[in-house]
Amino acid sequence: QLQLHESGPGLVKPSETLSLTCSVSGGSTSSTSYYWGWIRQTPGKGLEWIGTIYYSGNTYYNPSLKSRVTISLDTSKSQFSLRLSSVTAADTAVYYCARIIGYSGYGADHWGQGTLVAVSS
Amino acid sequence: DIQLTQSPSSLSASVGDRVTITCQASQHISNDIIWYQQKPGKAPKLLIYDASTLETGVPSRFSGGGSGTDFTLTISSLQPEDIATYFCQQYEDLRLTFGGGTKVEVK
């Protein structure tokens, strides 16, 4: 049974870099059928896709966040990571990692439980 | 970029009612729509892909329809466990976009 679990600091200071890791168990991050992504949720903006990485290392980012986002994948550890630089209060959100099906609409069929990250001094 | 507009933003219905949620795309997207259900404090759950295909394990009272720019999610007989917020999602060039959500409550 595939499981994803986010980990990282729950509080980040403004202008610093948010770093989160998603650990995947019960499945392979080397599969050619899936992508691995980060999605965040705020009360005001709803669900917002941050970016996606494929097993090959190819990345796809939300244009509105692209200049600040880096997603990386470590298949040997079955982990993928998110770095979001120069954060502001607007980046306060629940951050989810997810497996994204690489066909049929690219839906996210498995999600982590989500981790709340607050940006505050 | 393609935008998704959901309506209504919230609705209140009785148990047993038929409930329909709409999702309108700003451009033609064939049938590339996903529907999710999200309960409070939980991650979204994938319900429907390719506009009308139920994910394994999803009750048959859920159905999806539409193509092009207009899509619907229908609950044929609302159950208490269906109280949640529902989101649509599409992808364009592997960039995902979500609708604003529809909160379904019981009268």
Q: Looking at CA atoms only, how far is residue B7 from chain A in angstroms? A: 14
Q: What residue has token string 């980040």?
A: A12
pLDDT of residue A44: 74
Q: How does B19-50 read in b/e, with b if 16+ C-beta sit within 10 Å? A: bebbbbbeeebebbbbbbbbeeeebbbbbbbb
Mutation target vs B (from A106, A110, A113; most B CBs, 10 A cutoff) = A106
Mutation target vs B (from A47, A64, A99; most B CBs, 10 A cutoff) = A47
Of A101, A99, A62, which Cα lies nearest the Cα of A84? A62
Residue B18 Cα distances to B3, B15, B63, B74, angstroms = 27, 9, 11, 7
pLDDT of residue A42: 92
Q: Looking at CA atoms only, how far is residue B28 from chain A in angstroms? A: 14
Phi-psi region of A57 (alpha: psi -120 to 50; beta: other; left: phi over 0): left
Percent of chain A as helix, strand, coil, to the nearest 5: 5, 55, 40
**Is the pLDDT assigned to residue B31 strictly greater than 90?**
no
Contact check, Cβ <8 Å, B95/A104: no
Q: What digits encode the pLDDT tens for the residues B66-105?
A: 999 999 999 999 999 999 999 999 988 888 999 999 999 9
> How many whole angstroms separate alpha carbon B13 and alpha carbon B34?
23
Residue B81 gets which letter from DSSP? G
Q: Which amino acid is at A62?
A: N
Identify all chain B residues contacting A109, using CB atoms and an 8 Å cutoff. Answer: 46, 55
Q: What digits encode the pLDDT tens for the residues B7-28?
A: 999 999 999 999 999 999 999 9
What confidence tier does A103 reach under pLDDT thresholds 50, 70, 90?
confident
Query: In sequence order, which residues have a C-beta less than 8 Å from that of residue A39 and are 6 or more positions away?
Result: A47, A48, A49, A50, A95, A96, A97, A98, A108, B96
Of B105, B83, B74, which Cα lies nearest the Cα of B11? B105
What confidence tier does B1 reach under pLDDT thresholds 50, 70, 90?
confident
Identify all chain A residues contacting B97, using CB atoms and an 8 Å cutoff. Answer: 49
